[in-house]
């Protein structure tokens, strides 16, 4: 009975904070017209990807990248040269991946068609030789891993039958590694700050993991909704008495080279090999906290580190052989 009351309280707080209606607007699938020549040039692999969920990657002239996306990329690249640009179509959305040549090494920027920065990747020394040998293979392997990841999340989501009105309580150890790392970042590594964790499908069918915790002042409750891939779907601070809502705040995507030296040293020590395709920075409880994604041979690892170099969390997601396509990097000696 106590658990049910807590779940009902969380949901009541969610409604009071306005989270059930004030949700982000995600880009919807767009109709795209490709000319006959482009259709002929597409490889059998790309056509096969289309049949497996309409996911593909194809080269695009940089000047044909949508203006909002191009403006954001220009802000980041400054005067560095664009070496390659691609359209990345996944989950019904068009994103754009651009490789920038810099003196210290290539930087790859992924943005949405609306100019939102999704990812910044800098190639680390341990992976530099493989990258320079065949950049196309390098990113094809990453695209394969992301496809396997999305399929794994989809399979997990199929098992969730709980609803908003009848949520399911779950333990921190049983949630996906990406979700666990987000929760630990938001709680600054202190598990005692995490309230009950529940999961359910919202009215649109999206699976959400939800938890409450004290805010920075320790007075109100901070409510957090996270999707299975660890992304913040919605959040708010609210008073249990008034339901007053404050501004939302979200992590910012960084590149590996943007990390403070103290944090970078920890990453290099704990994960000396493997790609680092994504880094998030968030200011929580008076300090900067970083979530560093590391792609290793048999898992995706999430290191949560504060600005002092203390590891707050080390979580992993693994994918079975049916989910993960064969990757040349898996066969490469590390």
pLDDT surpasses 50 at 246: no
Q: Is the dihedral of CA 250, 255, 257, 261 positive or negative?
A: positive
Given a cut of 70, is residue 41 above it in pLDDT?
Answer: no
Number of H helices, E strands in the chain: 9, 15
Phi-psi region of 283 (alpha: psi -120 to 50; beta: other; left: phi over 0): beta
DSSP 246-284: ------EEE-GGGS-HHHHHHHHHH--SSEEEEEEEEEE
Q: Please, which pLDDT band fits residue 91 given cuts at 50, 70 and 90?
A: confident
Delineate the domains of the chain, giving CATH numbers in brackets: 50-149 (3.10.450.360)
pLDDT-wise least confident of 16-20, 33-37, 112-116, 212-216:
33-37
- Which residues have CB under 8 Å from 172's CB, separation 6+? 180, 183, 191, 194, 197
What is the predicted pLDDT for the residue at 3? Answer: 43
3 state DSSP class of 53: coil
**Could you tell me what percent of the chain has a pLDDT over 70?**
73
Output the pLDDT for position 238: 61
Angle between the N-to-C axes of helices 135-158 and 125-133, in degrees from 0 to 180, rounded to the nearest 10: 110
What's the pLDDT tens digit per position in 92-141? 789 999 999 888 888 999 999 999 888 899 888 778 888 888 888 887 88
| The token pair that represents 139 in the structure block | 């990113």
Specify the DSSP class assigned to residue 212: E
CA angle 10/16/22 to nearest 5° reads: 105
Euclidean distance between CA atoms 279 and 299, whole angstroms? 17
Give me the pLDDT at residue 112, please.
Answer: 92
């Amino acid at each position: 009975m106590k658990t049910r009351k807590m779940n009902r309280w969380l949901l009541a707080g969610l409604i009071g904070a306005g989270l059930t209606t004030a949700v982000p607007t995600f880009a919807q699938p767009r109709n795209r017209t490709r000319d006959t020549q482009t259709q002929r040039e597409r490889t059998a692999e790309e056509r096969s990807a289309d049949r497996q969920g309409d996911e593909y990657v194809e080269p695009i002239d940089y000047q044909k990248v949508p203006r909002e996306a191009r403006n954001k990329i220009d802000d980041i690249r400054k005067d560095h040269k664009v070496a390659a640009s691609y359209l990345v179509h996944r989950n019904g959305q068009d994103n754009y991946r651009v490789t920038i040549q810099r003196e210290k090494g290539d930087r790859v920027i992924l943005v949405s068609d609306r100019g939102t920065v999704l990812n910044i990747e800098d190639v680390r020394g341990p992976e530099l030789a493989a990258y320079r040998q065949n950049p196309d293979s390098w990113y094809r392997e990453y695209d394969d891993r992301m496809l396997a990841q999305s399929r794994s999340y989809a399979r997990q989501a199929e098992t969730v039958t709980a609803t908003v009105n009848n949520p399911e309580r779950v333990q921190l150890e049983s949630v996906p590694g990406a979700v666990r790392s987000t929760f630990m970042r938001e709680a600054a590594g202190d598990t005692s700050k995490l309230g009950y964790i529940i999961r359910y499908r919202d009215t649109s069918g999206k699976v959400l993991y939800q938890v409450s915790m004290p805010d920075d002042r320790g007075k109100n409750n901070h409510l957090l909704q996270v999707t299975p891939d660890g992304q913040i779907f919605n959040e708010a601070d609210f008073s249990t008495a008034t339901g007053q809502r404050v501004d939302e705040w979200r992590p910012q995507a960084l590149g590996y080279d943007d990390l403070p030296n103290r944090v970078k040293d920890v990453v290099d020590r704990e994960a000396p090999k493997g790609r680092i395709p994504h880094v998030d920075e968030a200011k929580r409880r008076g300090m900067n906290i970083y979530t560093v994604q590391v792609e290793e041979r048999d898992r995706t690892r999430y290191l949560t580190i504060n600005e002092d170099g203390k590891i707050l969390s080390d979580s992993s997601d693994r994918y079975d052989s049916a989910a993960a396509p064969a990757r040349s990097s898996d066969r490469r000696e590390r």
